[in-house]
């Protein structure tokens, strides 16, 4: 078990180093950041001063070494554009993204799992077929297009919900949260719905496939023989048996929803990290780009590592066999 | 089953059992023809700036422009005929999807089959990398690459390939290693036949069916991903407006009620993606032995 853990940890670290290298070197090929920092007509001495200040004159490997050193101390440098520490910038934007992602993923699970169980319980009914059609739509229609349709319907035509910004926020621990005010919730409704659509489709498929399998097992036969009602069987037994893959996917999907939030945040002008990275890419704000990509990679590797470890705890076969 | 039935005819008969799939295939075919014939049938060359007049900008569908013809789907912010722009946009979107899909297919299949054939540490390493990449959302990977490589057509194709090839590699590896462990391949390996013959005669034909399924889905995914990146302003340059960019350009006018600028290119995009996916679904069901009667 310990060997397995160490191996996975080493792998995660190797990936992290590769990722940071790739991002760092790659980002340096995009263009000269000095052109973004200062106007082209500033005197030469100010130009050189700025280059020296940001260390842009040193060789690339030296910049990388300095970068890794600072990274380990939690220092991601200062944003070229906002002139504040990048970590502060990202941490300031993170709550907006986190609450959106959490609500969207939770909502998709709470709605998608019952729908999926029903679709798996009565696969030939009209309702089940409409649920599956909905899930096909959720899979194939791009997120940004769903966002546009939502805005068009609920913001432009019906004028029920606002289509941008966070609305009123409540400060807890110095950061603002939207989900605690009615106005904030109203602002969050459309982006959360938009973000949850793909997850909803996924949860429906997952729950349906699981239910169809479990319904054929002896567990259900015996439960029926024992005289339990169908509702009790579904709630007590089926739900429990399909829960493991759903919980796993829920965890993994938290990470990928963070990635999709980029699109949703752009459409709904939601001031989270996703919009920050898009803005940073367009204005070549290198420290922010690098920090975002490294942090997201770290998050993904941590999630994968956790899933690997949890699997190893559940499945004893994985503990002994050397990883393929 | 009569004896003169070719495998293709058999395949088609089975495919035609699903009416939705046949309709979807027809839609895909029509879209491809429209896209190919765009320069011939489009009322206006949307790239020729001399044709554009700002007095025609943002006109609703049915407006008769200063050039004398009817803009059936209205005009965009530059006074461009939207129908023409969509036809040309379909061309670009399809081109990106097909080129990225074809290259990813070749790259992924080669990697997957090579890993299955060679085995050992190389296989373990290659498949570990592929697995890792699959756990990373495609959009994020594409975003990283666009950020790293910069914007442009080649860069975008590279980003699309990098985020798609892993699906092909995984599928090809799975199918090839299942075949590799069968007795007849073991027997062929024991003979002095050259390795490439075994790969081409035995492994490749068995890997193709699942790869075709993945390919249809991935072409649709490539088109959607390209549209998403273009919508975010990170895709193709302005000189080559794909459907995603047309939608993005119209987005800012949506709040003022000029919805057609975004909506029509969007409908074209959705019809294309859903049609390809429906065709892919049917082919997948056909190749799935568990659903065989």
**Local confidence pLDDT in tens for the 324 residues of chain A:** 677 778 878 888 887 887 777 777 766 665 565 665 666 677 777 777 777 776 777 777 777 787 788 777 877 777 777 888 888 888 888 888 888 888 898 899 899 999 998 888 888 888 888 888 888 888 788 888 888 888 888 877 777 777 777 766 666 666 667 676 777 777 888 888 888 888 899 889 888 888 888 888 888 888 888 888 888 888 878 887 787 778 777 777 777 788 778 888 888 888 888 888 888 887 777 778 878 878 877 887 887 788 777 766 766 655 555 444
Count of beta carbons in the 10 Å neighbourhood of residue A314: 10
The 3-state DSSP class for residue A186 equals helix
Closest CA–CA distance from residue B68 to any residue of chain A (Å): 31
How is residue A7 written in tokens? 């191996």
Closest CA–CA distance from residue A324 to any residue of chain B (Å): 6
Local confidence band at B291 (pLDDT 50, 70, 90 cut-offs): low
Q: Which residues of B122-144 are buried (b: 16+ CB within 10 A; e: fewer)?
A: ebeebbeebebbebbbbbbbbbb
What is the C-alpha to C-alpha distance for residues A204 and A117, in angstroms, rounded to an integer? 8
Q: Is A83 left (phi over 0), alpha (psi -120 to 50) or beta?
A: left
pLDDT at residue B44 is higher than 90? no
How is residue A258 written in tokens? 């963070």
CB within 8 Å of B158: residues ≥ 6 apart: B145, B149
Q: Which residues of B245-277 are buried (b: 16+ CB within 10 A; e: fewer)?
A: bbbbbbbebbeeebbbbbbbbbebbbbbbbbbb
In terms of Cα–Cα distance, which of A288, A276, A272, A277 is closest to A77? A288
Closest CA–CA distance from residue A256 to any residue of chain B (Å): 6
A172 pairs with which residues across the strands?
A: A175
B234: closest chain A residue by CA: A282
What is the C-alpha to C-alpha distance for residues B223 and B273, in angstroms, rounded to an integer? 7
Q: Are B135 and A304 in contact (CB < 8 Å)?
A: yes
Question: The pTM is what?
Answer: 0.80
Interface of A with B (CB under 8 A): 11, 15, 22-23, 26-27, 29-31, 136-137, 139-145, 148-149, 151-152, 155-156, 163, 252, 255-256, 259-260, 262-263, 266-267, 277-278, 281-282, 289, 293, 296, 300, 304, 324
Count of beta carbons in the 10 Å neighbourhood of residue B195: 11
Closest CA–CA distance from residue A136 to any residue of chain B (Å): 9
How is residue B98 written in tokens? 């097909």
CB within 8 Å of B250: residues ≥ 6 apart: B76, B77, B258, B259, B260, B261, B262, B263, B265
Q: Helices B153-180 and B82-118 meet at what angle, rounded to 10?
A: 40
Q: Are A278 and B234 in contact (CB < 8 Å)?
A: yes
Burial class of residue A182 (count of CB atoms within 10 Å of its CB; 0-12, 13-18, 19+): exposed
Which range is least confidently modeled, B8-12, B87-91, B103-107? B8-12
pLDDT at residue B107 is higher than 90? yes
Sign (positive/negative) of CA torsion A69, A74, A78, A80? positive
CB within 8 Å of A193: residues ≥ 6 apart: A104, A107, A150
pLDDT at residue B82 is higher than 50? yes
What is the C-alpha to C-alpha distance for residues A22 and A65, in angstroms, rounded to an integer? 14
How is residue B79 written in tokens? 């006074």
pLDDT in tens, B133-171: 777 778 877 877 777 777 788 888 998 998 889 999 989
| A293 vs B contacts (CB less than 8 Å) | 144, 147
In terms of Cα–Cα distance, which of B85, B91, B87, B90 is closest to B48? B85
Residue B62 — φ and ψ, nearest 5°? 95, -5
Determine contact, residues B268/B227, Cβ cutoff 8 Å. no
What is the C-alpha to C-alpha distance for residues A322 and A324, in angstroms, rounded to an integer? 6
| B288 vs A contacts (CB less than 8 Å) | none
Q: Are A142 and B146 in contact (CB < 8 Å)?
A: no
Q: What percent of chain B is predicted at pLDDT more than 90?
A: 10
């Amino acid at each position: 078990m310990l060997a397995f853990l160490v191996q996975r940890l080493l792998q995660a670290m190797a990936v992290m180093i590769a990722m940071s290298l790739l991002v760092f070197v790659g980002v340096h090929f995009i263009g000269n950041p000095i052109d973004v920092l200062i106007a082209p007509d500033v005197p030469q001495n100010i130009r050189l001063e700025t280059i020296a200040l940001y260390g842009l004159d040193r060789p690339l490997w030296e910049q990388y070494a300095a970068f890794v050193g600072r990274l380990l101390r939690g220092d991601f440098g200062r944003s070229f554009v906002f002139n504040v520490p990048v970590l502060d910038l990202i941490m300031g934007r993170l709550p907006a993204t986190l609450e959106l992602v959490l609500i969207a993923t939770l909502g998709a699970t709470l709605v998608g799992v019952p729908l999926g169980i029903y679709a798996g319980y009565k696969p030939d009914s009209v309702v089940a077929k409409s649920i599956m059609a909905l899930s096909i739509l959720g899979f194939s229609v791009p997120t940004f297009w769903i966002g546009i349709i939502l805005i068009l319907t609920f913001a432009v035509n019906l004028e029920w919900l606002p289509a941008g910004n966070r609305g009123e926020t409540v400060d807890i621990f110095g950061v603002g949260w939207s989900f605690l005010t009615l106005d904030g919730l109203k602002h969050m409704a459309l982006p959360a719905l938009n973000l949850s659509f793909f997850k909803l489709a996924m949860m429906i498929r997952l729950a349906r496939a699981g239910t169809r399998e479990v319904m054929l097992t002896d567990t259900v036969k015996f439960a029926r023989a024992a005289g339990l009602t169908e509702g009790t069987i579904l709630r007590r037994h089926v739900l429990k048996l399909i829960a493991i893959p759903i919980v796993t996917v829920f965890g993994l999907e938290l990470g990928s929803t963070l990635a999709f939030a980029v699109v949703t945040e752009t459409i709904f002008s939601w001031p989270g990290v996703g919009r920050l990275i898009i803005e940073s890419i367009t204005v070549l704000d290198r420290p922010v780009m690098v920090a975002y990509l490294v942090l997201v990679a770290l998050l993904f590797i941590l999630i994968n590592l956790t899933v690997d470890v949890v699997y190893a705890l559940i499945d004893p076969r994985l503990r002994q066999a050397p990883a393929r | 089953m009569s004896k003169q039935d070719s495998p293709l005819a058999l395949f088609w008969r089975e495919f035609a059992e699903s009416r939705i799939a046949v309709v979807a295939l027809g839609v895909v075919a029509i879209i491809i023809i429209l896209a190919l014939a765009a320069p011939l049938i489009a009322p206006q060359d949307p790239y020729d700036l001399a044709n554009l007049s700002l007095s025609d900008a943002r006109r609703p569908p049915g407006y008769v422009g200063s050039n004398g013809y009817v803009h059936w789907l209205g005009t965009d912010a530059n006074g461009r005929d939207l129908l023409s722009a969509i036809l040309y946009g379909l061309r670009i979107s399809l081109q990106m999807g097909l080129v990225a899909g074809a290259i990813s297919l070749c790259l992924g299949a080669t990697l997957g089959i090579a890993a299955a054939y060679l085995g050992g540490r190389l296989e373990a390493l290659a498949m570990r990398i592929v697995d890792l990449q699959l756990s990373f959302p495609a959009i994020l990977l594409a975003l990283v690459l666009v950020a790293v490589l910069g914007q442009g057509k080649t860069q975008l194709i590279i980003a699309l390939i990098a985020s798609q090839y892993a699906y092909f590699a995984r599928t090809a590896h799975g199918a090839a290693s299942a075949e590799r462990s069968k007795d007849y391949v073991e027997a062929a390996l024991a003979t002095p036949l050259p390795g490439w013959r075994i790969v081409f005669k035995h492994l490749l034909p068995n890997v193709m069916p699942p790869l075709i399924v993945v390919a249809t889905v991935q072409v649709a995914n490539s088109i959607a991903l390209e549209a998403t990146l273009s919508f975010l302003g990170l895709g193709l340059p302005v000189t080559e407006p794909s459907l995603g960019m047309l939608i993005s350009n119209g987005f800012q006018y949506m709040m003022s009620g000029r919805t057609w600028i975004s909506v029509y290119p969007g409908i074209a995009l959705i019809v294309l993606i859903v049609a390809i996916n429906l065709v892919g679904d049917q082919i997948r069901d056909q190749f799935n032995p568990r659903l065989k009667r």
